[in-house]
Amino acid sequence: MQEHFADILSKEIFPYVSKPAQYIGGEYNTCKKDWQDCTVKGVFIFPDTYEIGMSHLGSRILYDVINRIPRFLMERAYAPLDDMEQLLRKKGLPLFSIESKRPLGDFDFLAFTLQYELSYSNILNIIDLAGIPVWSAERDDSPLILAGGPCAYNPEPLAEFVDAFLIGDGEECFPEVVEMIEKGKQTGWDKRTLLRHMADIPGVYVPRFYEITYFPEQGKIKSITATDGVPSVVYKRVVQDMEHCVFPEKDVLPNMQIVHDRMMLEIMRGCNRGCRFCQAGVVYRPVREKSVEVLRKQAALLEENCGYDEIGLVSLSSADYSCIEKLVTGLMDDFQNQNVSVSLPSLRADAFSIDLAKKVHQVRKGGITLAPEAGSQRLRDIINKNVTEEDVLSAAKAAFSEGWTQIKLYFMIGLPGETYEDLDAMVDLAHKILEIGRKYKVPGLKKPIQITVSASSFVPKAQTPFQWLGQEDKESIGQKQEYLREAFRKNSKIKFNTHNLNTSFLEASFARGDRRLGKVLYRAWQLGCKFDGWTEFFRYDLWESAFTLCGISPTYYANMNYNDTDILPYDHISCGVSKKWLWQELQKAKQGITTLDCRQGPCNGCGICPTLQVDQVYVKRKEND
């Protein structure tokens, strides 16, 4: 029967779809286990295409975390492209895992990673393509739907579709959840009993046990009540010892070109810089660095097992890693004459970072990206982006002098407290950088200087100091975009890009949204929404209809300001950083007062270390002991 299904796929589906390599599995280092021998079988699903999903480090880690346990099996699936979906639906075939090509419905659990809000419609679509009811309440014997990842810090819009959310580092929580599923199968628990037991695992949030009530008039949340004795607040899980935790030594090598096709060497987790708009900077605390020795060993192992010719150092801010120079030099020594290159994404906007990039000969790789985020010092202080104009300009000077000709600048518009003067400052900064380019460009280089200014619209995210603030209204952001477009139009050397207003607006309404958005999501998906993050698929008109049909206003969620006494939709989920501290940060922002990274100064009292009983880990500090 199973062979028959795989055969149908090979003969009647794969030959007729675009880029079939993304569905065939069988990649080098793929995990293959005997179906019969495994007590629990699941599928890890990245709800976007293979090219994007295979580039995701977290998926690589968790695939290994579960499959390392001999009796558990976890396969993979991704969102099928439109032609594949149409063909499957036409032939009445379910979506399948790419390893054993089994229908998703044959597994015990489906685990989704939540990387961005605009992938939610894909999640419903994938569950439906599996032939499973999308609502949690309508599923009984079918696979359990699990989810985790950064968007799980506000899981509420998905609360009625997902059975259990895993909060925090998956290395800790995920195996325990799978063990519980195993126990449930052995004991013969029904779904509710299993979920109730699961809710006792630290870091697991089972939404059905939390009752939410709302104020009738303005609709804000009146209460969140934990029932059945489940914890009133679910705290995230943390890997304290990054060096000794599970590390995937054998990456599954993609069948086709993917977005980030290189070794991803995670050098540390967490970032303490405290940019007030940044969710990752809050939810991945505390900073935990791995030692240079361990990293060099891991890079060597991965190179040997996978054959990568590029090492990408991965973290939220690689230049902040205590021994970054020592690490880079070490790696370059290790791979001398082996044609392996080292690359450093996510660098800071300063000369030190440019120096590092130069060290790894990144020059030939084209452009460099600097992210001042805001045009003026005043606004950068508000958002606590502790980068000065001098930093940015000296970075640009260093970059041009080293032979770069293309610089990309990332900004946000619609940041709290932004005025048109800040926009003017953004325009000035870009022009100053262009001037520096003209002055310091290496003589004789044929490539012309090109500055790209990319201005995204600020989206307030859950669990950040700006979570209480609504997004600036769409019309007003639109006017600012126009203003900037006009200001940059005169100069052909500066390219100006913005984000789609409706995309950012929808993202904002979900980022701080609550459980009631579930029905809007359902409606939108039914109307045909999917791949909302893709310009060619995004159908804002359908989303508008969905909101209207449900009698829910998206502006309520996107633009509303909360008060300090308000219950936030995700107050029962904690990443360990205290709400009180976040509120203080917001007050400091309003006064334009910055907060230093606690490694450079005293403890800021964010609460992460005492609340979760964890410590920051810095390599330098350890080595000085």
CB under 8 A: which stretch of 248-256, 404-412, 438-446, 465-473 binds another protein? 248-256
Q: Which DSSP helix (H) or strand (E) runs through 265? A: strand 263-266
Non-local CB neighbours of 131 within 8 Å, separated by 6+ positions: 94, 103, 104, 105
Q: Name residue, tokens 């990309």.
A: 408
Interaction pattern, residues 196-235, with another protein; x per rule: CB under 8 A:
----------------------------------------
If the CB atoms of residues 307 and 528 are measured against another protein, the closer one turns out to be 307
Is residue 409 within 8 A of residue 371, CB to CB? The reply is yes
If the CB atoms of residues 97 and 125 are measured against another protein, the closer one turns out to be 97
Single out the residue of 5, 8, 24, 584 in contact with another protein (rule: CB under 8 A). Answer: 24
Q: Is 4 a residue that touches another protein (CB under 8 A)?
A: no
Whole-number Å distance between alpha carbons of 210 and 75: 31
Single out the residue of 10, 223, 225, 476 in contact with another protein (rule: CB under 8 A). Answer: 10
Q: How far is CA 150 from CA 11, 153, 167, 278, 410, in A?
A: 39, 6, 8, 11, 22
Q: Is 444 a residue that touches another protein (CB under 8 A)?
A: no
CB 280 to another protein: min, Å:
30
Whole-number Å distance between alpha carbons of 119 and 180: 28
CB under 8 A: which stretch of 14-22, 34-42, 161-169, 235-243 binds another protein? 14-22
Backbone dihedral region of 317: left (phi > 0), alpha (psi from -120 to 50 degrees) or beta? Answer: beta
Non-local CB neighbours of 91 within 8 Å, separated by 6+ positions: 8, 12, 13
Q: Is 193 a residue that touches another protein (CB under 8 A)?
A: no
CB 35 to another protein: min, Å:
17
Q: Is 400 a residue that touches another protein (CB under 8 A)?
A: no
Adjacency order of strands within the sheet including 144-148: 72-78, 40-46, 109-113, 144-148, 164-166, 204-205
CB 617 to another protein: min, Å:
32
Q: Cα 8 from chain centroid?
A: 35
CB 396 to another protein: min, Å:
24
Q: Is 280 a residue that touches another protein (CB under 8 A)?
A: no
CA Rg value for the chain? 24
CB under 8 A: which stretch of 9-17, 107-115, 374-382, 610-618 binds another protein? 9-17
CB 66 to another protein: min, Å:
21
Q: Cα 551 from chain centroid?
A: 30
CB 67 to another protein: min, Å:
17
If the CB atoms of residues 302 and 327 are measured against another protein, the closer one turns out to be 302
Mind giving me the DSSP string for 348-383? -SSHHHHHHHHHTTGGGG--EEEEEESSSHHHHHHT
CB 86 to another protein: min, Å:
17
CB 192 to another protein: min, Å:
40
If the CB atoms of residues 70 and 307 are measured against another protein, the closer one turns out to be 307
Site for another protein (CB under 8 A): how many residues?
27
Interaction pattern, residues 316-355, with another protein; x per rule: CB under 8 A:
-----------------------x----------------
Q: Is 406 a residue that touches another protein (CB under 8 A)?
A: no
For the chain, the first-to-last Cα distance in angstroms comes to 62
Q: Is 600 a residue that touches another protein (CB under 8 A)?
A: no
Single out the residue of 364, 492, 551, 624 in contact with another protein (rule: CB under 8 A). Answer: 364
Tell me the helices (H) and strands (E) count for the chain, helix number first: 22, 19
Tell me the two tokens of residue 342. 């080292």
Q: How far is CA 324 from CA 292, 355, 388, in A?
A: 9, 11, 22
Single out the residue of 57, 69, 253, 549 in contact with another protein (rule: CB under 8 A). Answer: 253
Whole-number Å distance between alpha carbons of 112 and 109: 10
CB 255 to another protein: min, Å:
6
Q: Is 14 a residue that touches another protein (CB under 8 A)?
A: yes
CB 536 to another protein: min, Å:
17
Per CB under 8 A, contacts with another protein among 27-46 are: 27-28, 30
If the CB atoms of residues 29 and 553 are measured against another protein, the closer one turns out to be 29
Q: Is 83 a residue that touches another protein (CB under 8 A)?
A: no
Q: Is 410 a residue that touches another protein (CB under 8 A)?
A: no
CB 20 to another protein: min, Å:
4
If the CB atoms of residues 27 and 82 are measured against another protein, the closer one turns out to be 27
Q: Are strands 450-457 and 406-413 parallel, antiparallel or unpaired?
A: parallel
Non-local CB neighbours of 139 within 8 Å, separated by 6+ positions: 132, 133, 145, 163, 191
Paired residues of 112 in beta bridges: 45, 147
Single out the residue of 86, 225, 232, 257 in contact with another protein (rule: CB under 8 A). Answer: 257
Q: How far is CA 618 from CA 58, 125, 348, 577, in A?
A: 22, 43, 19, 19
Q: Is 532 a residue that touches another protein (CB under 8 A)?
A: no
CB under 8 A: which stretch of 23-31, 49-57, 515-523, 611-619 binds another protein? 23-31
Q: How far is CA 489 from CA 182, 447, 497, in A?
A: 61, 21, 11
Q: Is 308 a residue that touches another protein (CB under 8 A)?
A: yes
Single out the residue of 307, 366, 528, 610 in contact with another protein (rule: CB under 8 A). Answer: 307
If the CB atoms of residues 13 and 134 are measured against another protein, the closer one turns out to be 13
Residue 79 DSSP one-character state: P
Single out the residue of 211, 304, 541, 623 in contact with another protein (rule: CB under 8 A). Answer: 304
Single out the residue of 5, 8, 20, 397 in contact with another protein (rule: CB under 8 A). Answer: 20
Return the C-alpha torsion angle 165, 463, 348, 454, nearest 10: 90
Q: Is 402 a residue that touches another protein (CB under 8 A)?
A: no
Is residue 23 within 8 A of residue 55, CB to CB? The reply is no
Q: Is 86 a residue that touches another protein (CB under 8 A)?
A: no
CB 403 to another protein: min, Å:
11
Mind giving me the DSSP string for 444-506? T--SPPEEEEEEEEP---TTSGGGGSPPPPHHHHHHHHHHHHHHHHT-TTEEEEE--HHHHHH
Tell me the two tokens of residue 246. 């599970």
If the CB atoms of residues 10 and 193 are measured against another protein, the closer one turns out to be 10
If the CB atoms of residues 229 and 307 are measured against another protein, the closer one turns out to be 307
Q: Rule CB under 8 A: which residues touch another protein?
A: 10-11, 14-15, 19-21, 24-28, 30, 253, 255-257, 261, 303-309, 339, 364
